[in-house]
Amino acid sequence: MEAKIGFAADALSAQIEGDMAAWMQTSDDDPLFHVGGRPFRVTETLVAAYVGAWVALALASAFNVGGLAVRLFSLSTSDVMRHGWVWQLLTYPFVNALSPFFIFVILMLFFFGRTVERAIGRRSFLLLYLGLTVAPALLLCGVALMTGHPLDYNGAMNIDFALFVAFALIFPEAPMLLFGVPAKWMALGFAAVSTLIDVAGHAWIDILVLWSALAVTYLAIRFPFLGEWLNALREKQERAKAERERAKAAAVLTQKKAEENRRHQSIDPILEKISKTGMQSLTRDERLVLEEARKELLRRDGAKK
């Protein structure tokens, strides 16, 4: 009996651990969903959201309500801090200019975002993208609060460029363009040129967004402490859950064993009495106990079959 109980507990433990491993692989490696057989990971989902938002803005502009859409979803520090429009901290990258340059923004997100996502995993990529979105927005809110001047911003160019920098940090020697320029030098050159253009045009907001996004990218790739901490926390929670499941299974088995021992203790004297004086010597209560034990044995035999 003890050997059977031990085997059942080991089997349950192995099943729990297998389910945990399968969940970890599915949640971090597999696509979010499929559309027509095509896998959609986080990057492809973001691309679809960007394109959908751009098309919606174009249609809204055609019906002369584009200004309202820009007002609602672009980042306005005054709207965030005075009116509580906190969704703008996340929606402003989806408000992009209605120009062909938007294709370049989407291609940068698609090609480099997809590679970075596969390199660092879904959870870390989501944390990176969330940091690239929220950190610059909070920085602009802080600057507006200190200076007393409201700031406005929208577009995803700097965020998507930061994803290219993340690619360059992970694969610094990857050749780019026809001349085979290493990705690290290409990223550095683009950052320098973009900064100089913004300085010449006094585009201080663009500089703040660009370099805060680059700082987030560098910290996330070179010092992935937040992702590691979250993974450690998740693993600790999963271990605790597995321990609870094992303890619950052990408690159920212990309870069943105790009930079985109690039945044996109540039946053994009755069986001994029958062997000495026969069935006719049993009292009514003893006959009920014996009948319950017989029904339990029949239920067990039926369950085994």
Span 10-33, pLDDT tens digits: 443 343 344 333 333 334 666 777
Q: What are phi and psi of 100, to 5 degrees?
A: -60, -20
Q: CA 232 → CA 19, 195, 217, 303, distances in Å?
A: 18, 38, 21, 42
Contact 213, 135 (CB under 8 A): yes
What 3-state DSSP class applies to 153?
strand
CATH no. of 31-223: 1.20.1540.10
Q: In the chain, list all ranges with CATH 1.20.1540.10.
A: 31-223
Q: What share of the chain is helix, strand, coil (3-state, %, to 5)?
A: 80, 5, 15
pTM above 0.85, yes or no: no
- Confidence at residue 300, expressed as pLDDT on a 0 to 100 scale: 67
- Confidence at residue 227, expressed as pLDDT on a 0 to 100 scale: 56
Question: Which residue positions in the chain have pLDDT lower than 70?
Answer: 1-30, 178, 224-234, 258-266, 268, 273, 280, 297, 300-305
- Confidence at residue 305, expressed as pLDDT on a 0 to 100 scale: 57
